[in-house]
C-alpha cells in the first residue's frame, strides 16, 4: 500500500498532542556527512546519552559527478553502508528515536532507495530489530514532467535556460529534491526509519525539529550547519556532531573529543558548497542567516540566534536529471624526454592535427562525429588556459579522452591515436621517440559518459505531491 503523505495522521492522537505542545528543545545527532564514510561508535553512544531525538545522515550528493544519477548506481560500497547502518539502526532501536537517511544510493534514484532498503533489511534481520521502515521515492516520470512543462510550471535556475521536452525525454533518470514535508509525513504515518530518495541536505536534520514545533529559522539553519557532520568543527576528521534546537535558536557541539565548534568554524560552514552564504532555498521558502549571531558558550559549544526562514509565495521542487553524453575511451602515456617536453604545447597541437587527419583518412569521421580532449598532466591539464607559463616540466602524463555516440567509434579513434601516443616526434625531430605507456592494452573503455542537464524547479501546491511513500510490509 502506498500511504498518501500527509493524510494518515488524523487517527494518530499522540502525534497531534505532540504537535500542539512543543517540547522545550529537539536534539539531533548527525554521525557523519555521508552514510558509509564511517564514524566512531563511542561518539554515537555519547549522543544518545545526551538525549538525541533523531539521528539523520545524508546518503548522497551530486558532488561526484553525473555518473551516479545517470546510471542510477551508488558511489559508496555496500559493506561500508551496512557497517554504518548496523550501528545507527541499533542506536535508533535502543533509544526509540527515528533514523532518517536522505539521498539514498548517492543520487536518490528509486534504485538507490531500494539498494539502501535492501541493506537495511538484512541488518535488521541479522540484528533482530523490529523497526518500521518507510521508503520515500523521488524519481520523476518524464511524461508527468512534460505535462507540467506544458502548463508553464517548470522554470530554469541560473545559469541554465528554459527547458524543452526533448531534454526531459533524453534523461536516463530525473529526481525531484524533497524538503522535510514527505519525511515528516512518513514519520507521522508511523515510520521509525525513513530512507528518502533525493532530498535537500538540510531537510533531514530539520524534519524532526519542525515536526515537533520548533521555529523554522533555527531548525533550518541548524540543519545546514550539521549537514556535513564534522565539517562545522575545528577538526573535520572527527565526523559526529550534535545540535539542540529550541524556541530562540540552536546550540551545536561536536561528539568527538578531539575537536570543537567555534563561532568561526560554525559560521564558516555557511560558505561551504553554497553559491550565496546568506540565503538558501528550500521547497517552501528561504533560509536567511544575514542577521545570525554566533557565540561561544564554552570551548566546544556554539550558540546561534537570529536565523530566519522566509516562506515563499510559490512552493517549488528542484529537479536534477542526467543523460548519456556519449561513450568514452581513454588512453594514457608518459613523456620524460626533455627534447619533447621543451616543446610540449606544440607537440600536443601537432598530435591533434595529425590525429584529425588520420581519423578522417582511416575512419572517414570528422568532428563532431567524435570529440577529443588531450590533457597534459604535469603541465597544464587541471587549469588549462587559466595556467601561467612556467619552465618545462620534468615529466608529463598525456591523457587522451575520446568521446563518440557509441563505444566502438570512440575506441577506433583511440586506436588510430595509439601510434601517435607512442611515437609522435616534435615537428623538427629527425628520429621517432617512443613514449612510456603505463599499461597494456593502451586503451580503456569507460562506457557511457553522462551529463547533468536539469537545474530547474517545478511549481507545486503540495510539496509532498511529487514523492511516493511506501511503508514496510506493504507491497510496493
Partner 1 sequence: MSATLGDLALEVRSKNAGPFWVTMEVFLRDAEGYAIAAAAVDEQVVARLYAVDPATVRVFRIPALHVVKVSFPRPVPQGSLADRDLHAGQHHVPLASLVPGA
Stretch that binds partner 1, among 114-122, 243-251, 296-304, 373-381 (CB under 8 A): 373-381
Q: Shortest distance, CB of residue 327 to partner 1, whole angstroms?
A: 11
Which of 104, 450, 458, 460: binder of partner 1 (CB under 8 A)?
Answer: 450
Q: Shortest distance, CB of residue 403 to partner 1, whole angstroms?
A: 5
367 binds partner 1 (CB under 8 A): no
Stretch that binds partner 1, among 138-146, 157-165, 233-241, 435-443 (CB under 8 A): 157-165
Query: Of the two residues 75 and 239, which places its CB atom closer to partner 1 in the complex?
Result: 75
Query: Of the two residues 97 and 410, which places its CB atom closer to partner 1 in the complex?
Result: 410
Q: Which residues within the stretch 160-219 sit at the binding site for partner 1 (CB under 8 A)?
A: 160
366 binds partner 1 (CB under 8 A): no
83 binds partner 1 (CB under 8 A): no
Which of 455, 459, 465, 472: binder of partner 1 (CB under 8 A)?
Answer: 455
Query: Of the two residues 332 and 450, which places its CB atom closer to partner 1 in the complex?
Result: 450
Query: Of the two residues 266 and 340, which places its CB atom closer to partner 1 in the complex?
Result: 266
26 binds partner 1 (CB under 8 A): no
Query: Of the two residues 277 and 334, which places its CB atom closer to partner 1 in the complex?
Result: 277
Cα distance between residue 206 and residue 183, in whole Å: 10
Which of 96, 237, 385, 431: binder of partner 1 (CB under 8 A)?
Answer: 385
CB 371 within 8 A of CB 404: yes
Full 3-state SS string of the chain: CECCCCCCCCCCHHHHHHHHCCCCEEEEEECCCCCCCCCCHHHHHHHHHCCCCEEEEEEECCCCCCHHHHHCCCCCCHHHHHHHHHHHHHHHHHHCCCEEEEEEEECCCHHHHHHHHHHHHHHHHHHCCCCCEEEEECECCHHHHHHHHHCCCEEECCCCCCCCHHHHHHCCEEEEEECCHHHHHHHHCCCCEEEECCECHHHHHHHHHHHCCCCHHHHHHHHHHHCCHHHHCCCCCCCCEEEEEECCEEEEEECCCCCCCCHHHHHHHHHCCCCCCCEEEECCEEEECCCCEEEECCCCCEEEECCEEEECCCEEEEEEEEEEEEEEEEEEEEECCHHHHCCHHHHHHHHHHHHHHHHHHHHCCCCCCEEEEEEEECCCCCCHHHCCCCCCCCCEEEEEEEEECCHHHHHHHHHHHHHHHHHCCCCCCCCCCCCECCCCCCEEEEEEEEEECCCEEEEECCCCCCCEEEECCCCC
Query: Of the two residues 184 and 398, which places its CB atom closer to partner 1 in the complex?
Result: 398
Q: With CB under 8 A, what is the number of residues at the site for partner 1?
A: 41
Stretch that binds partner 1, among 71-79, 165-173, 213-221, 324-332 (CB under 8 A): 324-332
Binding track over 325-364 against partner 1, x by CB under 8 A = xx-x------------------------------------
Torsion of Cα atoms, 88 then 93 then 95 then 96, to 10°: 120
Stretch that binds partner 1, among 154-162, 233-241, 244-252, 356-364 (CB under 8 A): 154-162
Q: Shortest distance, CB of residue 348 to partner 1, whole angstroms?
A: 14
107 binds partner 1 (CB under 8 A): no
Query: Of the two residues 80 and 399, which places its CB atom closer to partner 1 in the complex?
Result: 399
Stretch that binds partner 1, among 21-29, 266-274, 342-350, 466-474 (CB under 8 A): 266-274
Q: Which residues within the stretch 38-67 sit at the binding site for partner 1 (CB under 8 A)?
A: 62-67
411 binds partner 1 (CB under 8 A): no
CB 141 within 8 A of CB 176: no
Query: Of the two residues 57 and 376, which places its CB atom closer to partner 1 in the complex?
Result: 376
User: Could you list the residues that contact partner 1 (CB under 8 A)?
Assistant: 62-67, 158-160, 264, 267-268, 271-278, 320, 325-326, 328, 371, 373, 375, 381-386, 388, 401, 403, 449-452, 455
Amino acid at each position: 500500500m502506498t500511504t498518501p503523505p500527509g493524510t494518515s495522521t488524523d487517527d494518530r492522537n499522540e502525534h497531534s498532542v505532540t504537535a500542539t505542545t512543543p517540547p522545550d528543545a529537539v536534539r539531533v545527532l548527525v554521525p557523519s556527512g555521508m552514510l558509509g564514510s564511517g564514524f566512531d561508535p563511542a561518539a554515537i553512544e555519547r549522543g544518545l546519552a545526551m538525549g538525541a531525538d533523531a539521528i539523520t545522515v545524508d546518503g548522497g550528493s551530486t558532488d561526484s559527478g553525473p555518473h551516479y544519477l545517470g546510471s542510477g548506481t551508488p558511489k559508496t560500497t555496500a559493506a561500508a553502508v551496512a557497517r554504518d547502518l548496523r550501528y545507527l539502526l541499533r542506536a535508533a532501536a535502543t533509544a526509540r528515536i527515528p533514523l532518517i537517511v536522505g539521498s539514498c544510493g548517492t543520487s536518490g534514484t528509486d534504485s538507490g532507495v531500494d539498494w539502501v532498503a535492501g541493506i537495511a533489511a538484512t541488518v535488521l534481520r541479522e540484528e533482530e530489530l523490529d523497526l518500521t521502515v518507510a521508503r520515500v521515492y523521488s524519481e520523476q516520470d518524464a511524461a508527468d514532467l512534460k505535462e507540467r512543462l506544458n502548463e508553464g510550471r517548470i522554470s530554469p535556475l541560473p545559469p541554465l535556460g528554459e527547458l524543452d521536452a526533448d531534454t526531459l525525454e533524453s534523461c536516463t533518470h530525473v529526481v525531484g529534491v524533497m524538503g522535510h514535508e514527505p519525511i515528516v509525513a512518513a514519520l507521522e504515518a508511523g515510520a521509525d526509519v525513513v530512507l528518502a530518495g533525493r532530498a535537500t541536505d538540510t531537510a533531514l536534520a530539520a524534519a524532526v525539529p519542525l515536526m515537533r514545533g520548533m521555529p523554522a529559522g533555527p531548525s533550518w539553519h541548524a540543519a545546514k550547519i550539521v549537514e556535513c557532520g564534522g565539517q562545522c568543527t575545528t577538526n573535520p576528521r572527527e565526523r559526529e556532531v550534535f545540535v539542540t534546537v529550541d524556541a530562540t535558536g540552536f546550540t551545536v557541539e561536536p561528539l568527538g573529543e578531539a575537536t570543537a565548534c567555534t563561532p568561526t568554524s560554525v559560521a564558516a560552514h555557511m560558505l561551504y558548497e553554497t553559491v550565496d552564504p546568506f540565503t538558501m532555498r528550500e521547497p517552501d521558502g528561504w533560509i536567511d542567516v544575514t542577521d545570525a549571531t554566533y557565540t561561544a558558550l564554552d570551548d566546544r559549544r556554539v550558540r546561534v540566534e537570529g536565523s530566519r526562514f522566509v516562506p515563499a509565495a510559490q512552493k517549488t521542487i528542484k529537479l536534477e536529471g542526467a543523460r548519456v553524453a556519449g561513450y568514452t575511451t581513454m588512453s594514457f602515456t608518459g613523456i620524460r624526454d626533455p627534447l619533447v617536453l621543451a616543446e610540449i604545447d606544440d607537440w600536443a597541437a601537432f598530435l591533434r592535427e595529425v590525429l584529425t587527419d588520420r581519423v578522417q583518412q582511416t575512419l572517414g569521421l570528422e568532428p563532431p562525429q567524435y570529440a577529443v580532449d588531450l590533457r597534459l598532466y604535469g603541465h597544464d591539464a587541471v587549469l588549462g588556459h587559466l595556467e601561467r607559463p612556467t619552465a618545462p616540466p620534468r615529466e608529463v602524463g598525456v591523457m587522451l579522452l575520446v568521446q563518440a555516440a557509441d563505444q566502438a567509434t570512440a575506441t577506433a579513434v583511440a586506436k588510430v591515436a595509439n601510434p601517435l601516443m607512442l611515437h609522435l616526434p616534435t615537428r623538427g625531430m629527425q628520429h621517432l621517440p617512443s613514449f612510456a605507456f603505463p599499461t597494456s592494452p593502451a586503451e580503456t573503455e569507460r562506457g557511457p559518459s553522462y551529463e547533468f542537464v536539469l537545474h530547474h524547479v517545478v511549481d507545486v501546491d503540495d510539496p509532498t505531491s511529487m514523492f511516493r511513500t511506501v511503508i514496510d510490509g506493504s507491497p510496493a
